[in-house]
């Protein structure tokens, strides 16, 4: 699989959401069973899409930055040690996400602005 076909597969997997363009919050009671299952459905759908991303990018896995691969491995091991206490798992996952965002937020904003500027020149 080429880099281009991998990116194309990610594009196709990413833009497909449950119930497409229907309103998601209209008339929804956040304490209802429907709200619970809607949340679960979205979480599982995101996990499904990440599996497609994995499948599309798997041929390039050995090209990964070793430091990033080690970080991912450490974070996965941290979450595995938490076990099946869902609250503790959510809290630990949030810590990891906030650490990652703290490291990448400024860079992401700069590259997004640069890309938007470059694209507007075309």
How confident is the model over 57-114, as pLDDT tens digits?
A: 999 999 999 999 999 999 999 999 999 999 999 999 999 999 999 999 999 999 989 9
Same domain, 76 and 51: no
The 8-class DSSP code of residue 26 comes to T
pTM given for the model: 0.78
Same domain, 74 and 91: yes
Domain count, the chain: 2
Structure token digits, residue 103: 């490291």
Domain residues for the domain of 86 are: 65-122
Alpha carbon distance 24, 26 (integer Å): 6
Same domain, 31 and 1: yes
Quote the distance between the C-alpha of residue 39 and its chain's center.
15
Digit-coded pLDDT (tens) for 17-43: 777 777 777 888 999 999 999 899 989
pLDDT at res. 26: 80
Same domain, 14 and 58: yes
**End of a domain among 63, 79, 109?**
63
Same domain, 1 and 53: yes
Read off the pLDDT band of 119 (50, 70, 90): low
Same domain, 44 and 13: yes
């Amino acid at each position: 699989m080429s880099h281009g076909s991998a990116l194309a597969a990610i594009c196709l997997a990413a833009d497909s959401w449950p119930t497409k363009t229907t309103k998601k919050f209209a008339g929804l009671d956040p304490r209802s069973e429907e709200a619970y299952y809607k949340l679960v459905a979205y979480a599982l759908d995101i996990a499904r899409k990440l599996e497609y991303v994995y499948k599309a990018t798997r041929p390039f896995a050995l090209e990964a930055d070793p430091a990033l691969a080690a970080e991912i491995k450490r974070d996965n091991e941290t979450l595995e040690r938490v076990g099946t206490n869902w609250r503790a798992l959510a809290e630990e996952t949030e810590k990891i996400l906030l650490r990652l965002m703290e490291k990448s937020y400024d860079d992401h904003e700069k590259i997004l602005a640069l890309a938007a500027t470059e694209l507007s020149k075309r």
